[in-house]
Homo-oligomer: A and B are copies of this chain.
């Protein structure tokens, strides 16, 4: 396969370079339409968004007042109302594919061009029509294989559906077919490259890679560059597809154009300030979406990276995947959720930020709510917060005041310090 240079414009489409005004206008058109569609076409959002005037949901601020739907609740919601908890806007037979991810969580792939929005991420990573791409995500029961393949087909690239495992056969296929691109996890790319060297048949045809599914560290990226592979990462979920993708600017990840991304305080629906770590929320923007999730809390942590990307893309940037937001734990046999901690903070406007530290002392679980305050605590605040904590969690806990620097900006609301097993 001969070298295929990056062709055409640096951007996938005109959306990527919209001005702030153009973005606001597009959002003002898309948001009310998708909210109305979700209310009208799904039993779930018909109930959850009952009474909401869709026409008024035309800005990020208006959206931020709507209820959150949590991925962590999907297992139970779906089990109670199979298969999609009333969230599908079409009969199941009108989907393209249906998956069952571990959980189990049923995942829907609607019909239409590039449902998961992966073509844009491939384009930013330098993939073009005529490429031959080795796809090592699984196609079986989980969506990643199909998710990345459909975007490659939209770009006009050919795919080797390699899937997971069968490393020897994969190496033989690479040697015979000479793909110039790779998509899969970064760790499996490492395995393929190393095993090929051991087998005396190093892989020399890969020129670019799109990696996802796990952390992708700079050292790994630099090593790949040293063997001639230009690798970019994308972040997505099995529910909504690509959320954000890396570009040649190599500064954070640019959020996708087919969905609206918010970063909120874990356990709440409240947006955090730019730069603060919080939970990633996704709202689908495509009209008539088959699975129109509104304020879907992914359970992943990230943070807004302020300012525009030097690559020219004007969409909001995030810092990439920064861990899991879901910090629900059990204390003395009772569940304690991040939204309960947020509930305590809300009752007391003096508290700027708080973190619940769970430990095990003298054979018993202990809770300590560490609060950073806006100013010196008024008399009686500690007792009031202890009471709120007990009221909301049904558990006894201590309250201490700490400096804001003692609560680093890492999105952690519950810090479970107990050692299990």
Nearest opposing residue in chain B for A98, CB measure = B160
The answer to whether B141 and A166 have CB atoms under 8 Å apart is yes
**Cβ-based interface call for A10 (8 A):** no
The answer to whether A139 and B145 have CB atoms under 8 Å apart is yes
On chain B, the residues within 8 Å of A131 by CB distance are 93
**Cβ-based interface call for A83 (8 A):** yes
Among the stretches A36-44, A151-159, A398-406, the one at the interface with B is A151-159
Nearest opposing residue in chain B for A134, CB measure = B98
Smallest CB–CB gap between A408 and chain B, Å? Answer: 39
Question: Given the interface contacts A166-B141, A169-B141, does A99 sit within 8 Å of B146 by beta carbon?
Answer: no
Contact-residue size bin, chain A (C-beta under 8 Å from the other chain): 35 or more
On chain B, the residues within 8 Å of A153 by CB distance are 96
Among the stretches A171-179, A248-256, A385-393, the one at the interface with B is A171-179
- The distance in angstroms between the C-alpha atoms of A172 and B78, with both chains bound, is 13
Task: Tell me which of A93, A97, A146, A177 has the highest count of chain B C-beta atoms within 10 A of its own C-beta.
Answer: A93
On chain B, the residues within 8 Å of A158 by CB distance are 92-98
On chain B, the residues within 8 Å of A157 by CB distance are 93
The answer to whether B130 and A93 have CB atoms under 8 Å apart is yes
Smallest CB–CB gap between A410 and chain B, Å? Answer: 35
Smallest CB–CB gap between A57 and chain B, Å? Answer: 30
**Cβ-based interface call for A228 (8 A):** no
**Cβ-based interface call for A213 (8 A):** no
The answer to whether A161 and B97 have CB atoms under 8 Å apart is yes
Question: Given the interface contacts A82-B176, A145-B139, does A160 sit within 8 Å of B93 by beta carbon?
Answer: no
Interface residues of A in 135-155 (CB under 8 A from B): 138-141, 145-146, 153
Encoded as 1 (CB less than 8 Å from any B CB) or 0, chain A from 91 to 112 comes to 1111111111000101000000
Smallest CB–CB gap between A164 and chain B, Å? Answer: 8
- The distance in angstroms between the C-alpha atoms of A156 and B92, with both chains bound, is 12
The answer to whether B96 and A177 have CB atoms under 8 Å apart is no
**Cβ-based interface call for A132 (8 A):** yes
Of B98, B140, B164, which contacts A132 at CB under 8 A?
B98
Of B1, B4, B83, B173, which contacts A141 at CB under 8 A?
B173
The answer to whether B141 and A177 have CB atoms under 8 Å apart is no
The answer to whether A163 and B139 have CB atoms under 8 Å apart is yes
Smallest CB–CB gap between A343 and chain B, Å? Answer: 33
**Cβ-based interface call for A243 (8 A):** no
Of B106, B139, B172, which contacts A100 at CB under 8 A?
B172
- The distance in angstroms between the C-alpha atoms of A95 and B97, with both chains bound, is 22
On chain B, the residues within 8 Å of A139 by CB distance are 139-140, 145, 161, 163
A sample of 7 more A-B contacts (CB under 8 A), given A140-B165, A141-B170, is A91-B130, A96-B159, A100-B160, A100-B169, A106-B176, A139-B145, A140-B140
- CB<8 Å pairs between A and B, sample of 15: A1-B92, A82-B176, A83-B177, A93-B157, A94-B158, A98-B159, A98-B160, A99-B160, A100-B169, A104-B176, A138-B140, A139-B163, A140-B161, A140-B162, A141-B170
